[in-house]
Each structure stands twice: as C-alpha cells, then as structure tokens.
Amino acid sequence: MALGLRREIVKMVMPQEDERNRRPPRGINLAERHVQKHLPNTPQMLKQLKEDGKAHVFNDRQTLLKVTKALFENGQFIGAVRGHERFGMYFDLAIGYRIDIDGNQLPLYFAEMKIIKDEYHVIPRTKPSEVI
C-alpha cells in the first residue's frame, strides 16, 4: 500500500510533459526577508555563512534583479520540491558564487525561483533542486 502511495506522490510532484512549459505566476510578491542572505557581505549572508558553513550569493543586487526578470520570462518548471514549486534556468555567465567558511568560492550558473504561498525568492545554486 505504501508503495502505491509513494508512486502517487512522485506522480504529483514530478513535472508532467504539459507542465514543462509553465512559467512562474505573475502577481506574486517578493519575499524581502530572503533577499539579503543572497547578497555579498550583508549581515544576513554572514550569519548564514557562520551557521551553515556556506552561502549561495549573487554577484550583486543588479545581477539578482536581472536573474529574477529572466526567471519570470524563461524559467522552466522544475517541480514541487519539499512542498514548494520551483522554476529554474542556467546562465552562460556566472551569476554568483558559493562561498564556504574558509573563503573558497565556486562560481554559480544556475538560479532557482522558490514559491511559497503568494511569495517568491530567487536563489543562485549549483544545480536544480532534486524532485524526488
């Protein structure tokens, strides 16, 4: 019985063929509380770096704004991951970096828009979140 339920859950969250062309919904609000932790050297970013040992950061605010616009226009539906819809896309140029507690940086070329209720925020990532 549990196996059948698992298949149904996977079926519900994996993007179906007709969903792959979905775009992020218009009219949702930016979740401002998440923006600062993805910008370089802000207190929120430094706190996350200290707590998690790493942070995913955009190059600057202008890059974050350009990436957000691109995701609304061309972001691909990834699926529902941990209960939230996600849209993402790759970029030709690095849009940010992953920094660790030792200061090592890894360039990031992927961004994801996470939608929670009627709000969204944008995250630079190494790759798309995995749909289970």
Task: Enter the DSSP assignment of 31.
Answer: -
Q: Which residues contact 126 (CB under 8 A, 6 or more apart)?
A: 98, 106, 108, 110
Domain ranges of the chain: 2-16+26-125
Taking Cα atoms as reference points, which of 59, 119, 129, 29 lies closest to residue 88? 129
Say yes or no to pLDDT of 11 above 60: no
Q: How confident is the model at residue 82 (pLDDT cuts 50, 70, 90)?
A: confident
pLDDT tens, residue by residue, 103-128: 999 999 999 999 888 888 899 999 88
Sheet holding 76-81, edge to edge: 29-30, 119-125, 110-116, 84-90, 76-81
Alpha helix positions (H), 14-129: 43-52, 61-74
Which pLDDT does position 20 carry in this prediction?
54
Say what the pTM is: 0.77
